[in-house]
């Protein structure tokens, strides 16, 4: 399958009545510009983010995911194994002593499993994570798009490992779970086959 292939689209039940969300949030002072690619998120915006985080984590837990907390101070060894220091060095934010601030969020999960043995009885190992805090990328001014694509941002991460069959099943469950949430919120969306945050040689 070609990267970028659109697998499905879902239009919202009716067009939104408000202006673009981020523009309105900035106008209402729910979000305030702090610096290049940085924002202060006020009480109302924070409440929305927290409600979404809690709902997504609760839904993941009902699927059998465990909530963990990942470190965000990542050793170079972990980034090297993902080839990020070779293919995306411009996005990495150095944090001293050969380490970097986490640009991806899931790296610490896989680094934690390095040289460990996971028995078949423990699979699938399914984790949902948000409490570790910010994800950092040294985005340039021309690549940033308001709070949509900032230098530091929050997200909820689902990571899982298992047999090929278990992983495919988990992937479908997460996809259907989040699609259902968007439908219940009256939101539209697009499902695409993508490479991730950047392109690296295959």
pLDDT tens series, the chain, 202 aa: 565 566 677 776 666 565 678 888 999 999 999 998 899 999 999 999 999 999 999 999 999 999 999 999 999 999 999 888 887 888 899 998 889 999 999 999 999 999 999 999 999 999 999 999 999 999 888 888 877 788 999 999 999 999 999 999 999 999 999 999 988 988 877 777 665 545 544 4
Task: Region of 160 please: left (phi>0), alpha (psi -120 to 50) or beta.
Answer: beta
Q: What is the CA radius of gyration of the chain?
A: 18
Residue 145 is encoded by which pair of tokens? 């798009």
How would you write the chain as a 3-class SS string? Answer: CCCCCEEEEECCCCCCCCCCHHHHHHHCCCEEEEECCEEEECHHHHHHHHHHHHHHHHHHHHCCCEEECCCCEEEHHHHHHCCHHHHCHHHCEEEECCEEECCCCCHHHHHHHCCCCCCHHHCCEEEEECCCCCEECCCCCCCCECECCCCEECCCEEEEECCHHHHHHHHHHHHHHHHHHHHHCCCCEEEECCCCCCCCCC
**Domains of the chain in sequence order:** 26-185 (3.30.930.10)
CA distance 19 to 21: 6
pLDDT computed for residue 192 by the predictor: 74
Single pTM value for the model = 0.86
Query: Strand 125-129 and strand 66-68: pairing?
Result: parallel
């Amino acid at each position: 399958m070609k990267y970028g292939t659109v697998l499905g689209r879902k239009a919202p039940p009716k067009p939104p009545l408000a202006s673009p969300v981020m523009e309105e949030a900035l106008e209402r002072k729910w979000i305030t510009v702090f610096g290049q690619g940085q924002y202060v998120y006020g009480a109302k915006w924070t409440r929305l983010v927290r409600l979404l985080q809690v709902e997504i984590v609760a839904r993941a837990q009902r699927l059998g995911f465990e909530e963990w907390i990942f470190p965000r101070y990542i050793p170079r060894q972990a980034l090297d194994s993902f080839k990020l220091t070779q293919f995306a060095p411009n996005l990495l934010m150095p944090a001293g002593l050969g380490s970097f601030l986490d640009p991806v969020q899931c790296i610490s999960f896989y680094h934690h499993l390095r040289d460990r043995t996971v028995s078949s009885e423990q699979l699938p190992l399914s984790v949902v994570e948000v409490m570790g805090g910010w994800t950092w990328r040294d985005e340039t001014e021309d690549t940033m798009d308001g709070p949509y694509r900032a230098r530091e941002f929050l997200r909820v991460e689902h990571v899982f490992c298992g047999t090929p069959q278990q992983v495919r099943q988990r992937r479908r469950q997460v996809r259907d779970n989040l699609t259902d949430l968007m439908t219940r919120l009256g939101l539209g969306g697009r499902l695409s086959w993508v490479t991730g945050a950047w392109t690296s040689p295959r």
